Amino acid sequence: MNGPVPVRVLVVEDERLVAKDLQATLIAMGYDAFAIAASAEEAFRQAEAKRPDVVLMDIRIQGAFDGIHAADTLMAAHGCAVVYLTAHADEETIARAKKTGPFGYLLKPIKSAELRGAVEVAVYRLDAERRLRERTQQLEVLNRDLEAFNASLSHEVRGPLRHIFWYSELLQQQCEEILDVVGMGYVHRIRHAAVSLTTLVGDLLKLASVTRHQLLPERLNLTAMTRDIAERMIIDSGDDAGEILVQDGMTVLGDRPLLQIMMANLLGSAWAQASAEIPLQIDVGAIFHRGEFVYFVCRRTRTDASGDDVQILLRESLTNTAHAPSDAEIRDSQPVLGVASRIAERHGGRMWNETVPGRVVAFFTLRSA
């Protein structure tokens, strides 16, 4: 079985005895010190023939180019790690060398332990940077694929939604005399649902690129936004399944489209359990706790407790919460709230759930205006 390939090291040093000593020391350490070069031109030829992982580069070498110029060229051409060697430590030289982004800097005379440490650190950094570049390239490919998928999804979903809207509009215009009040109500709900879903698809497509999306924070009336969403949900439900109570005076700094998605997800998740048989009450509000406002969406049955009791419960829950669950736990347990959690994160906040008998509470923080 073949062992690991030794790290290839090129020594660029115009003092022959020093170069040979460095080469022998590196070989004894297990490195493949395959060549010595005394000038930049010779270093370029050696590097082209057998691409080095690490280059030990004397700053002052023979030829038209010094070691700093040679190092910059080698790193750009081959992506190798450069460790400078020099007997000169003046500030101007160090400043020039630093601009090339070296992996190390050794002053002559060089001790064996210092040489080993510099090469090992250079190899580690080089490997880490290569893996980071590979991962970045993979993510770029995935992002392009995701964008292509989103574009396809947008086309495939929005097209049918437009047809639903158009045909429901035709029904409303041409069948008004045929349909009774209930029937026209159904047509209105179909149109409203098509418009809402079209908007939601657009917002979700925006959310898919939320990490690249530049937030446009503005002072938002969270109370008015939430009440508008709640009103649409109650109208769409078509029955007396519950009520949504929203606290007055809540204002935040945030991106309007993303916060609309977040609040729609939170309210929708809570409202999904509502029915005429078990009417629910959803309370939306804020509590000032430990120097910040903590917002909440609390789902409970109407007969469960008074609003004051819910406020006390929330304060006790916050006081007794040693730490919030991780975002991974939230997303694994409730994907809808996972979307909301990502939006809260994007706004510099956090989100977590508390479940107690008769109630489910989603807490989240945002920057208050």
Domains and CATH numbers, the chain: 8-110 (3.40.50.2300), 215-365 (3.30.565.10)
Neighbour-count burial for 216-226, b at 16+ CB within 10 Å, e otherwise: eeeebebbebb
Q: By mean pLDDT, which of 103-107, 153-157, 298-302 is the weakest? A: 153-157
Identify the pLDDT of residue 165: 82
Burial (0-12, 13-18, 19+ Cβ within 10 Å), 94: middle
Closest CA to 31 of 87, 132, 102, 112: 112
What amino acid is encoded at 287 in this protein? I
Q: What is the spatial distance between Cα 237 and Cα 261, in angstroms, rounded to a whole number?
A: 19
Query: What are the tens digits of pLDDT across the range 274-283?
Result: 555 567 788 9
In the chain, what is the straight-line distance between the N-terminal and C-terminal CA atoms, in Å? Answer: 65
Given a cut of 60, is residue 325 above it in pLDDT? Answer: no
Higher-scoring residue by pLDDT: 203, 43: 43
pLDDT band at 145 (very low <50, low <70, confident <90, very high): confident
